[in-house]
Each structure stands twice: as C-alpha cells, then as structure tokens.
Amino acid sequence: MNRNSTSRRKALGALTGIAGLSLTSSLSSRLSAADKVMPQNLKGSVNHSVCRWCYRDVELDDLAKAAVEIGLSSIELLKIEEFKKVQKYDLSCAMVSPSGSNYSIGNGWNKKENHAGMTELYMREIDEAAKVGLKNIIVFSGNRETNLSDEEGLENCAEGLKKVMAYAEKKRVTLVMELLNSKVNHPDYMCDHTSWGVDLCQKLDSDNFKLLYDIYHMQIMEGDVIRTIKDNHKYIAHYHTGGVPGRNEIDETQELNYPAIIKAILDTGYKGFVGQEFIPKRDNKLASLKQGVTICDI
C-alpha cells in the first residue's frame, strides 16, 4: 500500500493543488485532464463521501487531500484510528468500519455463537465513535449457510442486536446494516433484499438501527430502485453508489440513471451522506471519483 510513497512525496513537492495528488510519478498529465471534470462549485444539496477501500493504492493522506479539493466532506469505511489521521483535513467519516475482529460480511449477527463477541466489539466501537463525534457504524447480517433459514437468521440478528441497541441509543450512534447482493459479489449473504432489512428494522424498532441502501447491490438483486427508496426511506440511513454492471464508473457506460436516483433520495428529505463506492477502472482513479461526484451533485 505504501510502496510508491517516495515517488508520491516527490511529486507532491513539485506540483500544487490537485495536480499534486499523484498516484505515481508519471501521473501529472492525467491529473491535468482530471481538472477538466473537477467540480468548481458543488451545489450543496448532497453531502458527498467516498469509500476508502476503492482507493487502496492511494495513500490515505493523498486521498484526503483529493477529497478536500473535490469538495467531499467524508472518507468512509475507516477504522477509528484511520479517521483520526484525516481529521486534520476537516473530513468526517460517514460510516465507521469496526477494528480488529474476526467478524465479517459472511460471519455476522445471524449466528448466535457470534453474539457475545460481537456485543463486546460493538459496545467498544460505539464508545469510540461517540468520543470522536461519529454517528454511523456498519454491521452485517452474515451468510445464510445451509442450515439457517431467512426467518431464523432474522430472529438471531434481532436477538443479538438488541443487546447493544440501548447503548447505541444512549451514545446517539446508529448501527447500519448494509444491503448486499448475493447474486454476483457475496454469495449466500442474508440481508440481500430491502424487505428483509426492513423487517429487521421493524423488529428492533429503534431510530438507531437502519439500513445502508447500496444502489449497485440492490439494482442487481431487485431493481426498481427509485420506488424502493421512496417506499422505505425512513429505514435508510446511508446510500452507496456503483455502476451496473461491473461496479465501475457511474457514467454513461452503465445502466443506472444516477441524477434521477439522487433526486429521488433528496425528495424524501434525506440529509445524510451519499458514498461513492465504485471501483475505478480508468488509470486516473481520482478523475473518476471527481466525475462520480459531479454526476451525483444535482
């Protein structure tokens, strides 16, 4: 991850502004092209964020500087210790990723044997997030596996999450379960339809438990994105983007109409963040990020 840090530091010394955010020593010409798509004045109706993992080969400091230049106000899916590194750029973290655990997308709250360990983990994460003023922590259902029905998994998730909800409410932190597709990227993942996630929200009956509606994932699983958002927006705390097919740039190369989707989100009264979570396939990843923000800045 840091193997090109020396060349990046040299580039930063020679360039200014966004041109200084080089990925390698040969990127200055690409970054000049990127300036052409950089938003000059964001409209202010959307709170823009970016998911860290999509830019793993960009040093966090470089990504933070680019985020500020573009007009983002958050880098998300950071651990608390990573967030502390970007605070100096006046950036938030719209969605916290828990630190150091054996729990994962496939191994989550739907397994009773995980409840004790996950309760300990999330109580600690809620505490740490509250200390630095962060509001959302991501959670996952886990996979179905052969012996676990959706109904049983739903009950297990509700039982486990109830152990931490009172503390989340006290600390004013929201636990947010991500909706992911089980067709392409996460085979067997349980929370793969909006209706299942909404059922869980209703069981928990807390303003501090909501859903992360990933537009890419739900387009694959169920489509009908705008109607689903309008019908279920009160259960949604956060949104992610991504191009379909391929999870790449969200421009004319894919099938989703992001300006229309973002308008529908704003029409619900949503005031939270929209996180760019596509994987850039172009060489100039920062230019793709800027383009995605521009498309969503309606």
How many CA atoms lie less than 13 Å away from 131 in the CB half-sphere? 10
Distance CA 290, CA 69 (A): 9
Average of per-residue pLDDT values in the chain? 89
Burial of 102 per CB tally in 10 Å (0-12, 13-18, 19+): exposed
Q: Domain residue spans in the chain?
A: 32-296
104-161 tens-digit pLDDT = 999 999 999 999 999 999 999 999 999 999 999 999 999 998 789 999 999 999 999 9
User: In which band, very low, low, confident or very high, does the pLDDT at 11 lie, cut at 50, 70 and 90?
Assistant: very low
267-280 tens-digit pLDDT = 999 999 999 999 99
More confident residue, 34 or 221: 221
- The pLDDT value recorded for residue 147 is 84
Q: 32-296: which CATH number, 3.30.2080.10, 3.20.20.150, 3.40.50.2300, 3.40.30.10?
A: 3.20.20.150
- The pLDDT value recorded for residue 108 is 96
Cβ neighbours of residue 205 closer than 8 Å, sequence gap 6 or more:
none
- DSSP conformational letter for 108: S
- The pLDDT value recorded for residue 101 is 78
- DSSP conformational letter for 78: B
- The pLDDT value recorded for residue 28 is 35
E strand or H helix at 161, and its extent?
helix 150-171
- DSSP conformational letter for 233: G
- The pLDDT value recorded for residue 35 is 42
Q: What share of the chain is helix, strand, coil (3-state, %, to 5)?
A: 45, 10, 40
The mean pLDDT of 175-190, rounded to a whole number, is 97
pLDDT at 36 over 50: no
Distance CA 275, CA 215 (A): 10
